A and B are shown apart, each in its own frame.
Chain A
């Protein structure tokens, strides 16, 4: 058994393992730098503990029997739903989100793990030989699997994480072989509904655009018109109910969707984050010499704005290194997905990689001011146990899948 384990470790995909370990190290160093000026804290030490725990969990996953994920997929899914229900009923509020479970002195966010579990369940369902993606009932079941945890997260409310759920649904369905028009048909009411809260024009433009795409993909004028009517009624309906809410609740939702409305908190972060990154120049100001970072111009930088640290202290060079390392993991993951013989593993890997891609792009895009600040962490780098553990689980699944990619169920 022991020799077997050693050979497994030798077979691990270096192009996933090495960039991941490097990013983990860069993340720890960045957290060290960002929290250096705060007295009496232990962010760095705590993150090291999380990292060690994460490596242990990843090893457990890697060493688990070949088909264990396939068999346990629904178990994890329902466990996650149970955890999400628990936080909703008895959760602890941290940073405006009531999404925390307390275990000893460590807080856990079930929504982070829920993503992984939901992708497992979707992969299991979509890879089932009896599932027909041209059958609306089966598609509806898949959507149900997605929306059940999504609703629980939206109720916390944690819009950012919820958005990631919706986004990863698209590549998972696409990879599973669903027609694109179907995916758009399913998601367009949700997108339109959210945009309707922001304003009349965003949702009208989105509704029309989505229907045009839908028509181009699926040339059926009748269904296209139905989709348009559906989208418009969802949009206007949302606006009606939204406007019926009391002023303060509306404002809270609006700021939640568009943080620049509140320049003193969320908008302020983006401004300072851009200054931090921009002032880094080609090679940065040097480790521990980033003025924006060291003087804490970005509140809680070690969580969602951790990318500013390498970008400010190591400049364009440091920032590109981080992006390239993520890019290696993600493209390698997609490559792996295309190699997997088992549909379940293939879809599972795509889902896992999509989670990483969504997080990396949205998080970095948000620090660069390209995307609104929706508060989702940067995998492997942001401070926080749940994010790090769930990322380590994802990496464990990728490495595990790589070992058994030529096995079919």
Chain B
């Protein structure tokens, strides 16, 4: 029966062929398995994670802000936000949503694309501050818009009289740019983030930390259970509350005081660096920026040529003018360049290499105290040459000029404190000693912020302790409870008490002496020490400076004020500072000194016999 086809040889040949083919097929399978499981295992692994475990973010409530007396000034209101979950969303309904909710379809599309890339099961926030009718519409039409929903969210509400707009900053949806720069990956489109001021600086503390719940889901996206019984869940951390150092009454008073000026005033407690008031005028009302800003308000603010959004208190810089003279005097005395008895002759002008620099009077032979009192320019023209740029710069740096004060707000301009290096970089070898002359009277390349000036004034007032200005006194951690005071940071400026005596005397006499430049700040109820300044302005009228502290013997407040285009500091700025000091110390709204002419206040002062140095 043995057939020709079934000889041993033929069967072996066929067997070799079929077994070879079988092994080849097995190799294909094993190789593919190796490729998928070993080479691409990690990639498939993360895909399987994404598949099965869904993360849902939980936004904590943002921290609140209290004033120093623990009354609430920035609160949270409930707000409803429209959300779309990319995974469930039917893109055919986008058009109708855009029309109904007045959405920007580009923004929505970009967010959904971002969302579906990052986490397609997480709801994407699309529009904030939904109205009641929007919610009703969503509830009634839920079935027609798969993946479209709304969630409870917060919006800021403000409960203070003063605006404090630049100080507080604002909260709004994160911008595309900030989102791109966020290396932590914390934020999602539509998340709130603090911009500017305290909201910006304390963003991480105020916002807390999002929590995440993990759910395992089946193939249809239906939640089956808490993943790992919720053990992997990350609870959200509530934002911490802030207690401010701001004196709301003073802030309010100052904002009214500055209402018709382009001006900025910062007041600091010289005993600890607490910021008592921080005002920039004109400003705006934060309440328009909690939800949808009315177009009319927005246009008014944007169109205002006085730039209400500009934070003049810590972002604008001006030459300090004569308010810088106490610093130069202190440096020269401390370095032994001059003694209290050293006199410098002022003929009314100073000529250097054919250029004449004027003084506002011929003061004759004057010492340092008198030079501060009358704000003699020639004295300081000549003094700066004795002191030299290096020492001038070194002392300027000690008072944080040319660098940030480090105050706890997100926007601060360091200003410019020119050094030798600065001039070399800017002008090369062309610059000469003539540039120094202007620095002697706080003009020229130097520029400072009102905040820097207030901190400087506070350091003068407390005789050489430079407190880092701060507006947050304590942070209340809602999880641990209790207010944690903020550490007060201070630097000691090595200037001796004798020097301070002379500086204080000069600044006192500047206010109370009949020849002083700050006479319009003179108060009877409390003794003030101050210094006027005029920042030269090539674009128009000069800016008026006044710095002051009070009470003279035991200073409790140090103030710096700039009034843009105010002209002479003694006229435009000094009376406003005096009013603020008087209000702060006595809560007295008596403002006759505001309207009184310098002459009449001098008369009043004379009659009170307090001109004599105490």
Q: How far is the CA of A295 from the CA of B43 in the complex (A)?
A: 19
User: Which among A209-217, A231-239, A251-259, A273-281 touches the partner chain?
Assistant: A273-281
Contacts of A295 in B (CB 8 A): 51-52, 216-219, 224
Residue of B nearest to A343 (CB): B6
Given contacts A295-B224, A337-B11, A368-B29, contact A277 B36 (CB under 8 A): yes
Q: Which of B1-33 contact A (CB under 8 A)?
A: 1-6, 10-12, 14-15, 17-19, 22-23, 25-26, 28-30, 32-33
Task: Collect the chain A residues with CB atoms within 8 Å of residue B12's CB.
Answer: 338
Q: Does A319 make an interface contact (CB < 8 A)?
A: yes
Contacts of B44 in A (CB 8 A): 274-275, 277-279
A174 CB-CB contact with B under 8 Å: yes
Check if B47 is an interface residue, CB within 8 A of chain A: yes
* A334 vs B18: C-alpha distance when bound (angstroms): 7
Q: Is B600 an interface residue (CB 8 A)?
A: no
Q: Cα distance A95–B91 when bound, in Å?
A: 31
In the docked arrangement, what's the CA distance between A279 and B30, Å? Answer: 16
Alpha-carbon separation in the docked complex, A292 to B37 (Å): 14
Residues of A360-407 at the interface with B, using a CB-CB cut-off of 8 Å, are 361, 364-365, 368, 370
* CB–CB B219/A299 < 8 A: yes
Asked if B432 lies at the interface with its beta carbon under 8 angstroms from chain A, I say no
A129-B1, A175-B14, A331-B19 known; A292+B51 contact, CB < 8 A: yes
For B, the interface residue count at a CB cutoff of 8 angstroms equals 44
Chain A CB within 10 Å, residue with most, of B17, B19, B36, B51:
B36
How far, in Å, is B430 (CB) from chain A's closest CB?
A: 69
A408 on interface, CB distance cutoff 8 Å: yes
B18 touches A282 (CB 8 A): no
Q: Does A323 lie within 8 Å of B29, measured CB to CB?
A: yes
Q: Which A residues between 283 and 315 are near B, CB-CB below 8 angstroms?
A: 291-292, 295-299, 311, 315
Q: How far is the CA of A292 from the CA of B218 in the complex (A)?
A: 9
Measured between beta carbons, the chain B residues less than 8 angstroms from A343 are 1, 3, 5-6
For A361, what are the chain B residues with a Cβ–Cβ distance below 8 Å?
25, 29
A58 within 8 A of B: no
- Closest chain-A Cβ to B427's Cβ sits at a distance in Å of 66
Given the known interface contacts A278-B43, A282-B38, A337-B11, the answer about A320 and B48 at a Cβ–Cβ threshold of 8 Å is no
Q: Is the CB of A346 within 8 A of B30?
A: no
Question: Is residue A97 contacting chain B, with contact meaning CB distance below 8 A?
Answer: no
**A368 CA / B11 CA spacing, docked (Å):** 33
- Complex CA–CA separation, A311 to B36 (angstroms): 11
Residue in contact with A277 in the complex, picked from B25, B37, B216, CB distance below 8 Å: B37
Residue B34 at the chain A interface, CB threshold 8 Å = yes
Looking across the interface, which residue of chain A has its beta carbon closest to that of B36? A278
CA distance A361 to B30 in the complex (A): 11
CB distance from B232 to the nearest CB of A (A): 13
A262 on interface, CB distance cutoff 8 Å: no
Task: Render B296-325 as a binary contact track against A, CB cut-off 8 A, 1 for contact.
Answer: 000000000000000000000000000000
B364 sits at the interface (CB 8 A)? no
| Closest CB in chain B relative to A153 CB, distance in Å | 24
Instruction: Say if the beta carbon of B159 comes within 8 Å of chain A.
Output: no
Tell yes or no: A16 within 8 A of B by CB: no
Residue of A nearest to B42 (CB): A281
B34 touches A296 (CB 8 A): no
Report whether B26 and A280 are in contact in the complex, using a CB–CB cutoff of 8 Å: no
Q: How far is the CB of A90 from chain B (nearest CB, A)?
A: 34
The dominant DSSP class at the A interface is: helix
Q: Is A278 touching B218 in the complex (CB atoms < 8 A)?
A: no
Residues from chain B with Cβ under 8 Å of A129 in the complex = 1, 3
Shortest distance from the beta carbon of A292 to any chain B beta carbon, whole Å: 6
Task: Tell whether A291 pairs with B48 under 8 Å between CB atoms, given A311-B33, A331-B19.
Answer: yes
* B37 CB to nearest chain A CB (Å): 4
| A409 contacts B by Cβ under 8 Å | yes
A226 within 8 A of B: no
Contacts of A337 in B (CB 8 A): 11, 15
A316 within 8 A of B: yes
Chain A residues with CB under 8 Å of B219's CB are 272, 295-299
Interface membership of A198, Cβ < 8 A: no
Closest-by-CB residue of A relative to B17 is A174
List of B residues within 8 angstroms of A296 by Cβ: 218-219
Would A370 and B28 count as touching, CB distance under 8 A? yes
Hey, which chain A residues are within 8 Å of B52, CB to CB?
291-292, 295, 297
Question: Given the complex, which residues of A lie within 8 Å of B37, measured CB to CB?
Answer: 277-278, 280-282, 311, 315-316, 319
Chain A 45-63 interface mask (CB, 8 Å, partner B; 1/0): 0000000000000000000
Residues on the A chain within 8 Å of B30, using CB: 320, 323
Tell me which of B1, B37, B49 has the highest count of chain A C-beta atoms within 10 A of its own C-beta. B37
> Do B33 and A292 have beta carbons less than 8 Å apart?
no
| A355 contact set on B, CB distance < 8 A | none
Give complex CA distance A222, B50 in Å.
60
Q: Could you say which residues of chain A place their CB within 8 Å of the CB of B49? A: 291
Select from chain B the residue with minimum beta-carbon distance to A278: B44
A282 with B41: in contact, given A133-B5, A334-B18, A365-B29 (CB under 8 Å)? yes
Interface string of B218-247 (1 = CB under 8 A from A): 110000100000000000000000000000
B28: chain A residues at CB < 8 Å are 365, 370
Is residue B494 within 8 Å, beta carbon to beta carbon, of the partner chain? no
Which 3 pairs of residues, A with B, have the shortest CB-CB distance? A278-B44, A177-B5, A279-B48
Chain A residues within 8 Å of B, Cβ to Cβ: 127, 129, 133, 171, 174-177, 272, 274-282, 291-292, 295-299, 311, 315-316, 319-320, 323, 326-327, 330-331, 334-335, 337-338, 341-343, 346, 350, 357, 361, 364-365, 368, 370, 408-409
Q: Can you pick out 19 interface pairs between chain A and chain B where the beta carbons lie within 8 Å of each other? A: A175-B14, A177-B3, A177-B4, A278-B40, A278-B44, A279-B48, A291-B48, A291-B51, A295-B224, A297-B51, A316-B38, A319-B37, A335-B19, A338-B14, A338-B15, A357-B25, A365-B32, A368-B36, A408-B2
